[in-house]
Amino acid sequence: MEYEPVRHDTPKVPPRDDHWWRGAVIYQVYPRSFMDTNDDGVGDLKGVASRLDHIASLGVDAVWVSPFMKSPMKDFGYDVADYRAVDPLFGTLDDFDALLEKAHALGLKLMIDFVPSHTSNRHPWFLESREDGTNPKADWYVWADAKADGSPPSNWISVFGGSAWEWEPRRRQYYLHNFLKEQPDLNFHNDEVIAALMEQARFWLERGVDGFRIDAIDYGVHDPELRDNPPRPPGHLRGGGTPGSPWAMQYQQYNKARPQLADRFLKPIYRLSHEYEGRALLGEISGETALKRLAEYTSGGGLDIAYTFDLLLTPLTPQGIREVVEELEGHVGDGWACIAFSNHDVLRAVTRFGGDAAPPEAGAMLPMLLTSLRGTVCLYQGEELGLGQAEVAYEDLQDPVGRTFWPQDKGRDGCRTPMPWTGEGPGAGFTGGRPWLPVPDAHRRHAVALQEADPGSVLNRLRAFLRWRKDQAPLVLGTIRFEAAPAGVLAFTRTYEGREIYAAFNLDDAAAGYPAPFGLRDLGAPGVEGRIQGGTVTLPPHGVVFGESG
């Protein structure tokens, strides 16, 4: 597919003075599944606040809270009906303010999800827009006439399957929805829409949030000519999407990743956030050209940091990780990437690495590897416990993706099951009621309370490591250079202001030993199980080691 570069028709945005997010570790909370304080089976904002001490104890720098705004919950909060209201399921604005205050008291930044590319079909904007073609919000969404035969105006396909166009009898037109039909796309070509979205963002900036994770932002701008997407050859899916959906049979060339996005939306929201000190914008980008666009958007195009699905989907092998990171480094320039192995949309990293029989040692090795790569890190809730993907029975599924594409795609419920705080009861300490998704027995064995009591647990090893990492500037801000290593071992050097740290990770089931690079000494990093001694690097299966010359 031909790549259209971002057109910087307006000047690049100026760099921020405060780069707290560079090399930071951001802990992602999926509030539905974090902690329930009213026993309705769904997590809430009071629950997040009650467990902030656990998050702070990890040594992370910030918290990203996934959607909690008013919503019909067709896509669990990613269908927003009121940008300025907390859904009663999660609490109140007072609960949010208390959460923000406690986070700041613990030294944690707090970022929230902002979902600007689409709203719920129950949002007042859409309810007005759908009535006719002459009302004040008639052009706030993407409307188009049917073709002469009544079929949709283009061949665009929804991520969740089927046409991306839905017929609205009131207007006798189709509207665009790149996700569920209950998630109509806003029209970013309309200046009034952009201005209204800025006001929604300002509401939260005024409350004191430290930034936004901007959801699915490359779906924000569509091709006004509504040209058909070209076909994608079989096996060419990369960078996000639902493999079981016909969505994967197209290149999303005209309904996403349009070159006007930076100037239409990213730069305006950046300039808004620049009015407030210490804010950050983290964008979600997907598709074949995501790494290139990450570089352009984060080097003056309107984002501070961005992540793609490349590391979230690539095989967790030395070759797979190295290929993605080296391609990223080849593009990023003076931009900045966010890196993650897991989140609320993809298979948990432990299972992606080793399947259902993943070794326990991988639970500690993978987050140590993640937080040693170059970039800002997003650590998903449960990664600090070594949780794998949950198997959710069909009758328990909640996710529309799983219900539609089962069994080829079981959806996202398996990475969204509740946090196991204890090993007891149906709710495993998450709730006193019936949890909205079941807690698997395998997760109970990894419960926080059980790991707290074990000095050698994944939780305690990772805590010690992340606290140590904070004082290792090369691991936070340094450049990265991959090194030769035996098969199964990923090794690289991070360099910052003349100091170099060598890191090696054994992704194999067998122990590895090899001559240490000249003059390398063991740094004695806490929580790791590898050693550099007598001129030899020794790594047990899934072991880790850090060294320094001198």
- Burial zone of 441 (CB within 10 Å; 0-12 exposed, 13-18 middle, 19+ buried): exposed
| DSSP letter for each residue of 409-461 | ---SGGGSSPP-SSS-TTTTTS-SS--SSPPPHHHHTT-HHHHHT-TTSHHHH
CB of 353 within 8 A of CB of 316? yes
275 is catalytic: yes
Task: List, in order, residues 6 or more apart from 450 with CB less than 8 Å away.
Answer: 422, 423, 457
Rounded Cα distance, 80 and 160, in Å: 17
* DSSP-derived 3-state class of residue 71: coil
Rounded Cα distance, 545 and 522, in Å: 8
Number of Cβ within a 10 Å radius of residue 170:
10
The residue from 75, 215, 310, 329 that is catalytic is 215
CB of 35 within 8 A of CB of 88? no
Rounded Cα distance, 1 and 295, in Å: 19
First to last CA, the chain: 49
215 is catalytic: yes
Instruction: Return the closest-CA partner of residue 429 out of 57, 59, 43.
Output: 43
Peptide linkage before 407 cis (omega within 30 of 0) = yes
Backbone angles phi, psi at 165, to 5 degrees: -115, 140
The residue from 149, 206, 225, 275 that is catalytic is 275
How many residues does the structure list for the chain? 550
Sign of torsion, CA 449 453 458 459? positive
- In DSSP terms, 127 is beta-bridged to none
* DSSP-derived 3-state class of residue 130: coil
Rounded Cα distance, 236 and 79, in Å: 29
CA angle 516, 371, 313 (to 5 degrees): 105
DSSP state of 522: E
CA 48 to chain centre: 18
CB of 301 within 8 A of CB of 12? yes
Rounded Cα distance, 503 and 482, in Å: 9
CA 210 to chain centre: 17
Which residue in this structure is represented by tokens 């926080």? 448
Tokens of 71: 């919503």
Active site residues: 215, 275
